[in-house]
A and B are shown apart, each in its own frame.
Chain A
Amino acid sequence: MRKGLVAAALVVLAAAVVVSAAVARPTAVAASQQADCTSVSLGFLGPLTGPAAFIGNEQLSWLRFAVQKYNAQRNTQFEVALGDTELKAPVARRVARRFVGDRDIMAVIGGSESQAVRVSGNLFEAAKLASISGSATAVDLTKQRPYGTFFRTVPNDSIQGPTVVNYVSRNLKADNVVVIDSQDDYSVPLAKAVAGKLRARGVDVSRESVSADDTDFSSIVANVGGNVDVVVFATQVATAANTLSNQLREQGKRAVVFGTDGAYSPSQYKPRTGYVSAFAPDLHSVRAARGLVREYNRFSKNAVFGTFGPPTYMAGWVAMDAIRKACARGGATRAEVTRNVRSTNIPSVLGGRTRFDKKGDLFGGGTFTVFKITSGKYAVAT
């Protein structure tokens, strides 16, 4: 019996090795390999399940909307290939390998989260595969241009950090602040930068850290003193910001929560009083975008959306434009597509134009907006 079990285990192990090798091999697909452009996909790399599923699902819905609209307008046949990161870096890397090996995928939309970009950037660069994120904001993803084929349609945290600091110190006039990170590549540098800049302005700052999987913050809240004015929470999980805000009230603390861009979700982060920064305007309140919002509502059957979807819509549009141009002569390579993405200059639904600088950031940097939330209702504060 024991021998049988060992043999079975060995068979399973061998099968696992073969499968892993098969999954790993596709990275060898040559970047110069030409696609015939008859069946072209955009890979979507984002969290479709897990604590930040609301981000990925909103982005995917807007990407599908963009694809449907683009196909109808330009008579193209683009499709979307799904890649769920579960908000876990190792999973994101596995998905990235799959995308690299899939010759139908000519551009990737994402990674949605900074840690996904960090683990996939080198793979995509080696395959000359353009990746365009509509939400990854960590500064170092573009600072030294570590990933040559990475672009983003949102401003980065070098703008978010000062925006949060200015609002907390000038508008809220906070003297005592707690800054919390979520132990990931996005939140730790952002929290560190915010804490440093607040200290430089003479604000008393203490630091805390929670896991992205935490659902109970009552022990952290017990550490928040009664004299604390604001808790800045760098997170990608809106429900976590909501729970933190409620538990502060539960324990009689007067501090309000200031969530960073990952917390923007009118359906999940709805404190009695709170703040959140966002890398894009809420299209519901942009007059010029009314038609687009109506179209999207029809497409999605009135799905709730916030600020995550529209930048991904733009990322999709940029990618499809670049692929279509590359395919104009009948075939295209990923390198050609990446070159076309680099030279993009198209009007943006978010206002202005979408254009990238040498590092892959939005040309001109862009701005972050601060929203004040009162009884769950969001209103622009800056």
Chain B
Amino acid sequence: MDWDKLVQLLVNGVTLGSVYALVALGFSMVYGILKLLNLAHGDVLMVGAFIGWGVLGWLGGSQDPSVAVWLLIVLMVLAAMAGCGFLGVAIERFAYRPLRRAPRIAPLISALGVSFFIQNSVLLLFGANFQSYDSFDLVDVEVGVHWGPLNVWILRIVVFAAAAVMMLGLWILVTRSKLGKAMRATSFDREAAAMMGIDVDRVIVKTFFIGSALAGAAGVLVGLVFGSINHFMGFNYGLKGFTAAVVGGIGSIPGALLGGLVIGLAESFSAAYISSTFQDLIVFSLLIVVMLVRPTGLLGRADIKKV
């Protein structure tokens, strides 16, 4: 057994899994409250990646940033979170709210439309060429943890740490704050929550803002670690994020984290030990197995229905 390789793959899988977990959280939050699959969520991540890239260019680019690198990264993440948060609110206001009482297929089709709209808007604005963060110029690969044959670039640590902090923050928000309580109540029974005086519309808007902001942050993290971004990257990350949410148990925050890590690690190990040709096959087989064995996902709970 090659332990060095094993540990390296673990690092790769955790990095990828952290990104998937952030995307999964957005899916979980929206599904938890509206029972809606926000198929445009991956494209929100893509917009976040482009906002981060724009801020990077505006502040001098990777080779000659006009502010300290750590500050630049923080600004990129914050700008992407804010931009995507408002984008999420706009999507909810114009694409989903008018269809809230429509059959469930209607918002799903609306979500697909939003997804194409966002993709093509970015294509028109920035062109079809891949854009690069050039993050290896921004932070040298030598900076990081070098322990024997194990090499962990500092940006991979940043991705994991940022994802962990955001998930912890969200966990605290949902379990300890008034807004979190309102979100849980709305998720449990929207009508009853409204009768108890909760402004359901406002809770939904805030949920979209937070979920989309997390996707925006994930977009910047993807750009930082993997370097290149493009207008159709959202599809893949959206699909994997959604898979992570379902595997972990859609609606569950720890489930999103667990699902993300499971999918990230499965991809990483299957690409190295089997073949990258089959990595998607393995990931989606995993999804099918989890659905067969535990339909609510690893940490999901079945809905209690009054009869």
Interface of B is mostly: helix
Residue B86 at the A interface, CB < 8 A?
A: no
Q: Which among B9, B136, B272 is the interface contact of A246 at CB below 8 angstroms?
A: B136
Contact yes or no, A213 B236, CB < 8 A: yes
Q: Which residues of the partner chain A approach B16 to less than 8 Å between Cβ atoms?
A: 216
Contact yes or no, B271 A57, CB < 8 A: no
Q: Which among B225, B233, B276 is the interface contact of A209 at CB below 8 angstroms?
A: B276
Contact yes or no, B232 A252, CB < 8 A: no
Contact yes or no, B268 A219, CB < 8 A: yes
Q: Which residues of the partner chain B approach A183 to less than 8 Å between Cβ atoms?
A: 277
Contact yes or no, B227 A239, CB < 8 A: yes
Contact yes or no, B153 A243, CB < 8 A: no
Residue B171 at the A interface, CB < 8 A?
A: no
Residue of B nearest to A271 (CB): B136
Q: Which residues of the partner chain A approach B123 to less than 8 Å between Cβ atoms?
A: 49
Q: Which residues of the partner chain B approach A368 to less than 8 Å between Cβ atoms?
A: none
Residue of B nearest to A252 (CB): B151
Residue A53 at the B interface, CB < 8 A?
A: yes
In the assembled complex, the Cα of A268 lies from the Cα of B134 at a distance in Å of 9
**Size class of the contact patch on chain A:** 35 or more
Q: Which residues of the partner chain B approach A57 to less than 8 Å between Cβ atoms?
A: 127-129
CB distance from B256 to the nearest CB of A (A): 20
Residue A1 at the B interface, CB < 8 A?
A: yes
Contact yes or no, A1 B103, CB < 8 A: yes
Residue A15 at the B interface, CB < 8 A?
A: no
Q: Which residues of the partner chain A approach B212 to less than 8 Å between Cβ atoms?
A: none
Please report which residues of chain A, range 217-239, place their CB below 8 angstroms from some CB of chain B when the two chains form the complex.
Answer: 218-220, 222-223, 226, 237, 239
In the assembled complex, the Cα of A237 lies from the Cα of B228 at a distance in Å of 11
In the assembled complex, the Cα of A211 lies from the Cα of B226 at a distance in Å of 15
Q: Which residues of the partner chain A approach B269 to less than 8 Å between Cβ atoms?
A: 219
Contact yes or no, B267 A250, CB < 8 A: no
Given A1-B103, A222-B9, the answer on whether A250 and B153 have CB atoms closer than 8 Å is yes
Please report which residues of chain B, range 132-176, place their CB below 8 angstroms from some CB of chain A when the two chains form the complex.
Answer: 132, 136, 141, 146, 149, 151, 153
Contact yes or no, B128 A50, CB < 8 A: yes
Residue of A nearest to B13 (CB): A219
Among B5, B123, B271, the one with the most A-chain Cβ atoms within 10 Å of its Cβ is B271
Q: Which residues of the partner chain B approach A213 to less than 8 Å between Cβ atoms?
A: 236
Residue A251 at the B interface, CB < 8 A?
A: yes
Q: Which among B5, B9, B130 is the interface contact of A51 at CB below 8 angstroms?
A: B130
Q: Which among A53, A211, A223 is the interface contact of B129 at CB below 8 angstroms?
A: A53
Contact yes or no, A50 B267, CB < 8 A: no
Please report which residues of chain B, range 260-277, place their CB below 8 angstroms from some CB of chain A when the two chains form the complex.
Answer: 267-269, 271-272, 275-277
Contact yes or no, A246 B141, CB < 8 A: yes
Q: Which residues of the partner chain A approach B12 to less than 8 Å between Cβ atoms?
A: 216, 218-219, 222
Binary flags per residue of A30-57, CB closer than 8 Å to B gives 1, else 0: 0000000000000000001111011011
CB distance from B43 to the nearest CB of A (A): 15
In the assembled complex, the Cα of A249 lies from the Cα of B143 at a distance in Å of 11
Q: Which residues of the partner chain B approach A214 to less than 8 Å between Cβ atoms?
A: 276
CB distance from B147 to the nearest CB of A (A): 11
In the assembled complex, the Cα of A226 lies from the Cα of B9 at a distance in Å of 16
Chain B residues bordering chain A, tally (CB within 8 A): 37
Residue A343 at the B interface, CB < 8 A?
A: no
Contact yes or no, A268 B130, CB < 8 A: yes
Q: Which residues of the partner chain A approach B103 to less than 8 Å between Cβ atoms?
A: 1
Please report which residues of chain A, range 296-326, place their CB below 8 angstroms from some CB of chain B when the two chains form the complex.
Answer: none
In the assembled complex, the Cα of A5 lies from the Cα of B108 at a distance in Å of 15
Among B127, B130, B141, B233, the one with the most A-chain Cβ atoms within 10 Å of its Cβ is B130
Residue B230 at the A interface, CB < 8 A?
A: yes
Contact yes or no, A219 B226, CB < 8 A: no
Q: Which among A53, A208, A268 is the interface contact of B128 at CB below 8 angstroms?
A: A53
Residue of A nearest to B268 (CB): A219
Binary flags per residue of B258-297, CB closer than 8 Å to A gives 1, else 0: 0000000001110110011100000000000000000000
In the assembled complex, the Cα of A361 lies from the Cα of B27 at a distance in Å of 52
Residue of A nearest to B136 (CB): A246
Contact yes or no, A252 B146, CB < 8 A: yes
Q: Which among A50, A219, A239 is the interface contact of B132 at CB below 8 angstroms?
A: A239
Residue B110 at the A interface, CB < 8 A?
A: no
Given A216-B16, A222-B5, the answer on whether A239 and B130 have CB atoms closer than 8 Å is yes
Among A216, A239, A243, A246, the one with the most B-chain Cβ atoms within 10 Å of its Cβ is A216
In the assembled complex, the Cα of A199 lies from the Cα of B129 at a distance in Å of 36
Residue A215 at the B interface, CB < 8 A?
A: yes
In the assembled complex, the Cα of A214 lies from the Cα of B15 at a distance in Å of 16
Residue A112 at the B interface, CB < 8 A?
A: no
Contact yes or no, B151 A250, CB < 8 A: yes
In the assembled complex, the Cα of A343 lies from the Cα of B277 at a distance in Å of 43
In the assembled complex, the Cα of A215 lies from the Cα of B234 at a distance in Å of 12
Residue of B nearest to A375 (CB): B137
Residue of B nearest to A245 (CB): B136
Given A50-B128, A53-B130, the answer on whether A216 and B226 have CB atoms closer than 8 Å is yes
Q: Which among A211, A246, A251 is the interface contact of B151 at CB below 8 angstroms?
A: A251
Q: Which among B132, B232, B276 is the interface contact of A220 at CB below 8 angstroms?
A: B276
Residue A210 at the B interface, CB < 8 A?
A: yes
In the assembled complex, the Cα of A57 lies from the Cα of B151 at a distance in Å of 38
Contact yes or no, B232 A50, CB < 8 A: yes
In the assembled complex, the Cα of A239 lies from the Cα of B128 at a distance in Å of 13
Q: Which residues of the partner chain B approach A1 to less than 8 Å between Cβ atoms?
A: 103
Residue A242 at the B interface, CB < 8 A?
A: yes
With A218-B15, A246-B136 known, 14 other A-B pairs at CB within 8 A are A48-B128, A51-B230, A57-B129, A216-B12, A219-B267, A219-B269, A222-B12, A223-B5, A239-B130, A239-B228, A246-B141, A246-B227, A249-B141, A268-B132
15 residue pairs of the A-B complex, CB under 8 angstroms, read A49-B232, A54-B130, A57-B129, A215-B233, A219-B12, A219-B269, A223-B272, A237-B130, A239-B132, A239-B228, A242-B227, A243-B226, A243-B227, A250-B151, A268-B129
Binding site for B on A (CB under 8 A): 1, 5, 48-51, 53-54, 56-57, 183, 208-211, 213-216, 218-220, 222-223, 226, 237, 239, 242-243, 246, 249-252, 268
Q: Can you list the 5 inter-chain pairs with the closest CB atoms, starting with the nearest?
A: A219-B271, A53-B128, A49-B128, A218-B12, A239-B228
